[in-house]
Structures are given as structure tokens and as C-alpha cells.
Amino acid sequence: MKIVIKKTYREISQAAASIVSDIVTQKPTAVLGLATGSTPLGMYEELIRLYREGRLDFSRTTTFNLDEYLGLAADHPQSYRRFMDENLFDHININKERTHVPDGSLSADRVDEHCEEYEAAIRRAGGIDLQVLGIGGNGHIAFNEPGSPLSSRTRLVALDEQTIKDNARFYDSEDEVPRFAISMGIGTILEAREIILIANGAKKAPVVAEAIEGEVTSRVPASALRMHSNVTVILDKEAASLLKDFPLLANQHIQ
């Protein structure tokens, strides 16, 4: 696991965008796994900037998003499809038909079939070249909450109390936060050929330290990334501050 520490959010966003940009440049037909949440917003802004400057071409890129709330139509203001359109896809030359976000508008009885089809679509596309991840305050990746099997696949999941509380800021009240979601599994995520995990801010510091330096356990889903051979964790100094090796790492990385 490679750890990169930068001083500011802007710098981690640029570092993450440059990894994405290298892949898309080297392999125009690259398959990207994308994440929502506030963390990757800066990276998306940076990718849009690179595209506008003519330094990136997404015309042959395929994307698969990690997750979507169940019960939200694609055009709901809080749907992850809408988030991706507004924060990335509408601003670059990607073919929307090659962008995939699980369908949160399905009735519960159709979700299993949809999840199998989502996995099949990833396989047909040749697998994910680069998966971008954030981390939840409880250590979740995508919506794989604590306790999710490390071998889990795309499926219907129940959101954890902490996730519902964390996400309540986007809704008028906590009651409106969806209780279920469709999420790629940890096993699905670990099949990506390369993974980057981005985290910023002091709030993420305890869970980042647990995921990177604690035991590999389903109690901290992000700790599963330690079983993968090509992972880069990109942190600002606040998110890295509780790592045991922080003084050493900060010396190496922060000029």
C-alpha cells in the first residue's frame, strides 16, 4: 500500500486527478470506478479543468459508480446519478451511455437481478482499471458498512446508523435519508486492477489510522484494501495525523 500525504485538499485532489489522467491518457478505453461524496469533488474539478485545457479526452472512457440509494429516481437532487452528471459527466466529453450508476429507482424485487447485471457489465467492459474510493466515518467503502463480508459482491445493503446521520446534512431531516442502497461489494472493488483511496480532514483521521494500521477486519471495511497489491492512499495532513508513522511520512512527503 502506497501512502501519499499532502498539505492541502487541493493538492490531494490534484494528486488523485493525475493518477486518473495518466490512466485515461495511456489507455483511452480505460474503465474507471468512480465514487461520490464530498471527498472526490476537488478531483472531479481538476479533471474537468484538464479536459477544458485539452489535456484529457474521455470520449472512449467507460465508468462504473460504486453505489446508489434505493428509492431515489435518477433525477432526485440527492441521487448519485445526478451527483455524477452535475459534478463530472455534464462537463466532459464522456459518452453518457458508457457511464453506469446502479439504478435506485427499481422495486426491491428487481434489485438482485440488476446487481447481477451490474457485475456482468463490469466483466463485459473488461474489469475496472482504476477504482477511486472515499472512506466513510465508520470505515465503509462504497456502502459496504462494518460487518460486510470481504468477499461481498454488488447487492442491496442496509445503511448503518452513522451513515444515515452523516448523510442527513444533505436532506431536510434525518427521516428523509434513504435506509437502503445498492452497492458494489468489497470483493467487486478488490478486483479493480488499481485502487486509490482519498481522505481529507481530521474527522477521518481515526478511521484512516484503523484502516491502514489496524487489523484487516470486516469491522473496518476499508482495511480490506490491504489485501490488494496496487493501492495508493492519498491523504491530507489532517487525515494522516493519527498514523503511527505520521512524523516519518510527513517528512518524506510534505515539502
**Does the protein bind ligand GLP through residue 233 (CB under 6 A)?**
no
Q: Give yes or no: 67 in active site.
A: yes
**Does the protein bind ligand GLP through residue 196 (CB under 6 A)?**
no
Among 36, 61, 138, 223, binds ligand GLP (CB under 6 A): 36
Q: Which is nearer to ligand GLP, 60 or 219 (CB)?
A: 219
- In our burial notation (b when 16+ CB lie closer than 10 A, e otherwise), range 60-95 reads ebbbbbbbbbbbbeeeeebbbbbbbbebbbebbebe
3-state secondary structure of 144: strand
β-bridge pairing 180-183 and 67-69:
antiparallel
Grid coordinates standing for 228?
A: 490488494
Within residues 131-150, the interface with ligand GLP by CB under 6 A covers: 134-136, 142-143
How far is 252 from 153, CA to CA, in rounded Å? 37
Residue tagged active-site, from 65, 138, 144, 200? 138
Q: Give yes or no: 167 in active site.
A: no
Q: Give yes or no: 140 in active site.
A: yes
Q: Which is nearer to ligand GLP, 45 or 245 (CB)?
A: 45
Q: Give yes or no: 95 in active site.
A: no
Q: Count residues contacting ligand GLP (CB under 6 A)?
A: 14
**Does the protein bind ligand GLP through residue 35 (CB under 6 A)?**
yes
How far is 199 from 221, CA to CA, in rounded Å? 15
Ramachandran quadrant class, 82 (left: phi over 0; alpha: psi -120 to 50; beta: rest): alpha
**What residues make contact with ligand GLP under the rule CB under 6 A?**
35-39, 66-67, 134-136, 142-143, 163, 167
Residue numbers annotated as active site: 67, 138, 140, 145
